[in-house]
Amino acid sequence: MATELHNLSDYDPAVTPSGKNKRVGIVYAEWNPEITYALRDGAIKTLIDNDVNKEDITVASVPGSFELIYGAAQMAKSKRYDSIIAIGCVIRGDTPHFDYICEGVTAGLSRLNVEYDTPVIFGLITTNNLQQARERSGGRLGNKGDECAVTALHMMGREWQGSDTHNED
């Protein structure tokens, strides 16, 4: 398991781009609030710690993880954000509902990344039980919200158009 080898909250501030003058949208699911609120709060704190002004962070909630697609799409359509973080938590149950939700959200958020010029950061944690979710939302494995914020900072810190990041000559 990858997170067993890497704490989700560990990052090197020296190589993390500043969020100064950047606008970030965060959409989070209200389902599993113990987990999603902790993820949301971790993302906000990490963004602020890396120079994103609190006023430049917009936070919106949706009822469940499947609705993250719609919330993130609305933020992307507005063209007001330099990055969007989608946060949710799906815990495996006794039915295949878990699989359908996880696959649907993954496909939907992936689609937004190619349809819009705003990076949408995948902050959906999918676990087998509540304990695993707690470990990834501020527990012994750190906070996936921190990791999502750092990912957003890196994506916003890159120059995409006209950049030559790989030269084969």
Kindly list the catalytic residues: 97
Spatial distance between the Cα atoms of 87 and 100, rounded to a whole number of angstroms: 17
Question: What is the sign of the dihedral through the CA atoms of 103, 138, 50 and 41?
Answer: positive
Element (H, E) at 154: helix 144-156
DSSP secondary structure letter of residue 66: G
142-143/120-127 β-pairing: unpaired
In degrees, rounded to 5, the angle at the alpha carbon of residue 58 between the alpha carbons of residues 55 and 64 is: 155
In whole angstroms, what is the distance from residue 134 CA to residue 54 CA? 26
User: Tokens standing for 90?
Assistant: 């799906």
CB 85, CB 27: distance < 8 Å: yes
Measured in whole angstroms, the distance separating CA 113 from the mean position of its chain's CA atoms is 12
